[in-house]
Structure 1
Amino acid sequence: MAKFNSKQLRSMYTRKEVGRHAVGGGLYFRISASGTASWEVRYTLNNSRKFYTLTAGYPELSLADASIEAAAVKRLVRQGVDPVTNRQREKMIRIKSVTDLFNAYLDKIQSEIKEPHRTKRLYEMSVLPYMGDSSIEGITARDVESLINNVIAKGHKAKANKLLSLLKKMFAYAVKLDLLPASPAAVFTTRDAGGRPAQRNVHLTLGEISQLFKAMNSDELFTKSNKLAVALIIVLGSRKMELIGAPWSEFDLDNGLWHLPAKRNKTKEAITYPLPSQCVTWLRELHFLAADSHYVFPKRMAYSKTPHISERTLLTAIQTLQERHGLKVTTVHDLRRSCRTLLSSIGTTNDTAERMLNHKMDKIRGTYDHYDYLDERAVEHAKIAAMIQPMVDSISNVTTLETVRRGGGI
């Protein structure tokens, strides 16, 4: 078996000799295609040959120290212990507090859920302040009930349901890892979290949308960028965070297109929004208002954790406006529902309307139908834009539904 000294290894590392090089005694020096170097130990356990990568690589770990660690790994193998399994077990043993458990759980599901930042925010707001530092063994069913009741008392039934779901999954993961004999959240049901919240079914009629814009135009405290955000959501039917978290790099204003990448899309599939001329004009205004920011809606507070406005900024502004002007109580998502309702009212086909709102198709159809309806969507977005633009610009001759149905006002 080939053997190398420190000088030879340093030379191999400098020349980036990609591959796994036998050093001796089961120790290997591996150089990846990217040029990083690591130490590996080859061993055989239960007639299966495996490689174990040492925690530190080269040059952090010298040849002499790597040889010592390799010998320790070999001793474990002679005792019948698989070093890979042993490392995983040691990692799990480090899960002591509730926050340790949450971080391990989030790390495991990070790539599986659509919006991991929401899960993290829910934990940080509803669990961390109350039991984050507590030992997982010390958490009881009474503690879980107390957390849930605290959220219900504030009138947040939907949030209570989400919190219970998170706690059940977290502690079930702890049981799965053999860190707990049973989950303190297992006995609770949706009924304990206040029952399932009634599905929200609020939308704004064209007249109510007009009233909303009239209030926005007359209220000096409601900013221009907030008004344009509302207009864009109604016309495009986009999801709130996909719009307010958008960087300018996604927009091709010269060609009237918004390329929303899969990584920022709830459906995990890229989509291109055709932008009506009105939307292009509004976005150019927003570009001016954003100054040198890379984001369409840049953060407004220096201490903000995100480079763009927070997910509650627009909702808070709208609800404050509604209170001051006695308007119908709506959320930002209700604007998206209003867009969908308007589309039906002007005769937009279901296929086109669903693609406009970027809804995911059923599995079988999604497998076979890859048509993007871009041209059809462009026509329908333009119709909604023609109805909304006069409201945004505070012009009295608002396009009516009947006018759009007859093909006018575009």
Structure 2
Amino acid sequence: MQIPTEKPEITVKNYLSVGPGEYPCGNNLYLIVTPSGGRRWAFRYQRNGIVKKMGFGSAKAAGLKPSEAKDKAIDALRLLAKGTDPRDQREEDRRHEQGSRLFGEFAEEWRQTYETGLKHKAARNKLKRIIQVTCQPLHKLQLDQIETEHVTAVLRKVWHQREISRDARQRIKKILDAAIALDLRPKHNPADWDSRLKPIMPKQRKRGTIRGSHKAMPYHDLPAFMEKLNADPDQSARALEVTIFTLARTNEVQNMRWPQLDLQSGLWDVGTPDTKNGRPKRTPLPRQALAYLREAYESRVSDEFVFPGRSLRQSISNMTMLKHLKQITGDERLTVHGFRTTFRTWAQEETNFEERSSSIAYITSPAMMLKRHISAARR
């Protein structure tokens, strides 16, 4: 029976000559020698039930001497006795030596990269405002200095605005996640919702009974509004009419182009660039909208946009329809997008289709809704 030989004790004289293997040197320090001749010092320890390894550097002639490696191991054991992970402490020391970056400059660089994936100008503008205005109190702080109290101080100022506070919280978290990935701050994220913010932030008020965040016009008021709108000769009034008749999103009508329209069949191929989810969309044109579009085509001033702006190479502004809506109604709270809610509410209350708005859109139209209520009003 072959008796295993004990590994030699590592000393200043022999640590450069021992063969391949792992040699314990006391204080959780090991000399690791690879078959190719590589030599390095490693510190092994256990943290929260998990065995970890921390490298101390080369053990070759130009690297650490055994006494220097043992001093590092003793320092690491002292940190463990205090409840500190030595690897985390080393990363923090490196950040301080290198100098952590300021949140403001790092967030601006992150924004310029992130916004390349945003399709709409409005989304890019919202992101820019969050970074430059909402997060302004964080700009002069170093990334590794930001803690949960700094994040909550920013959020409390906009907490009464549900969507803005949510977007700001999500963007701050993404920025700090990027900083963690680049080793610019500790691994915990002070903007994490479940573990950091939710337990201490006040509960936000629930939205009102009106569906969604867009204020909608009651459908009983729509016939009278459409009569006033029809009397307005402005192009933006016609754009608003087409939006209501087709249930399209503001951006889709704003960028409506003549090549997308089949005025013979009464179909509108919206295409992917202007849709919310980037998928192709085909919309049937109601009789009222189709009649206007055929007339407008004969007198068009642009071969591209149905509703051109001051420069024929651009579409109308996304605020022109909203401006007309507020001028006619005098209600500053109404939104153009809210007409989609107006139609769905009518369909749920006046038809047998209550669950899916997509099903409603296939079997009826806003034109039918207007026809019924105008007839009822005249009776």
TM-score category, normalised to shorter length = 0.5 to 0.7
Does the 8 Å contact 1:237/1:340 carry over to 2? Answer: no
Give the C-alpha shift of residue 310 in structure 1. Answer: 3.4
Secondary structure (helix, strand or coil) at the match of 1:127 reads helix
Q: Which entry has the higher C-alpha Rg, 1 or 2?
A: 2
Aligned position for 2:245: 235
Aligned position for 1:188: 197
Q: Deviations over 1:99-148 (max 9, x none)?
A: 112233445xx2xx7x5644422122232256497676277356544543
| 2:325 is the counterpart of 1:318 | yes
Secondary structure (helix, strand or coil) at the match of 1:258 reads strand
| 2:131 is the counterpart of 1:127 | yes
Give the C-alpha shift of residue 312 in structure 1. Answer: 3.4
Cα 1:264–1:173 change in 2 (3 A) is: same
Q: 214, 239, 262: which is aligned to 2:272?
A: 262
Does the 8 Å contact 2:268/2:283 carry over to 1? Answer: yes
Does the 8 Å contact 2:347/2:360 carry over to 1? Answer: no
Aligned position for 1:38: none
Q: Deviations over 1:50-85 (max 9, x none)?
A: xxxxxxxxxxxxxxxxxxxxxxxxxxxxxxxxxxxx
Q: Deviations over 1:228-249 (max 9, x none)?
A: 3333233222222222222222
Give the C-alpha shift of residue 165 in structure 1. Answer: 1.8
| 2:246 is the counterpart of 1:198 | no
Taking structure 1 as the reference length, the TM-score comes to 0.52
Aligned position for 1:159: 164
Aligned position for 1:67: none
The 5 A counterparts of 1:31-46 are none
Aligned position for 2:375: 399
Does the 8 Å contact 1:160/1:194 carry over to 2? Answer: no
Aligned position for 1:212: 225
Taking structure 2 as the reference length, the TM-score comes to 0.56
Structure 1 segments, 4+ long, off by >6 Å, are none
Give the C-alpha shift of residue 402 in structure 1. Answer: 12
Does the 8 Å contact 1:172/1:183 carry over to 2? Answer: yes
Give the Cα separation in 1 of the matches to 2:349 and 2:328: 27
Does the 8 Å contact 1:225/1:289 carry over to 2? Answer: no
Aligned position for 1:175: 180
Aligned position for 1:385: 367
Aligned position for 2:113: 104
Choose 341-350 or 206-215, whichever is displaced more: 341-350
Give the Cα separation in 1 of the matches to 2:191 and 2:204: 16
Does the 8 Å contact 1:203/1:341 carry over to 2? Answer: no
Does the 8 Å contact 1:171/1:183 carry over to 2? Answer: yes
Give the Cα separation in 1 of the matches to 2:179 and 2:165: 21
Secondary structure (helix, strand or coil) at the match of 1:339 reads helix
**Residue type of the partner of 2:364?**
E
Q: Deviations over 1:181-214 (max 9, x none)?
A: 2445334349848726515435434430123234
Q: Deviations over 1:287-316 (max 9, x none)?
A: 46762162233234x6x9x93233333223
**Residue type of the partner of 1:100?**
E
| 2:338 is the counterpart of 1:334 | yes
| 2:267 is the counterpart of 1:277 | no
Structure 1: unaligned runs, 5 residues or longer: 1-92, 358-376, 391-396, 404-410
**Residue type of the partner of 2:108?**
T
**Residue type of the partner of 1:380?**
T
Give the C-alpha shift of residue 258 in structure 1. Answer: 0.5
Give the Cα separation in 1 of the matches to 2:319 and 2:307: 13
Aligned position for 1:245: 255
Give the Cα separation in 2 of the matches to 1:193 and 1:250: 48
User: Percent of aligned positions with the same letter in both sequences?
Assistant: 18
Does the 8 Å contact 1:276/1:385 carry over to 2? Answer: yes
What is the RMSD of the two structures over their aligned residues, measured on CA atoms? 4.2
**Residue type of the partner of 1:268?**
G
| 2:316 is the counterpart of 1:309 | yes
Q: Deviations over 1:300-339 (max 9, x none)?
A: 4x6x9x932333332233234332xxx5942222201112
Secondary structure (helix, strand or coil) at the match of 1:262 reads coil
Structure 2: unaligned runs, 5 residues or longer: 1-100
Give the Cα separation in 2 of the matches to 1:105 and 1:260: 26
Give the Cα separation in 2 of the matches to 1:299 and 1:189: 45
**Residue type of the partner of 2:242?**
L
**Residue type of the partner of 1:104?**
T
Does the 8 Å contact 2:177/2:189 carry over to 1? Answer: yes
Give the Cα separation in 2 of the matches to 1:309 and 1:192: 41
**Residue type of the partner of 1:195?**
Q
Does the 8 Å contact 2:252/2:274 carry over to 1? Answer: yes
Give the C-alpha shift of residue 259 in structure 1. Answer: 0.8
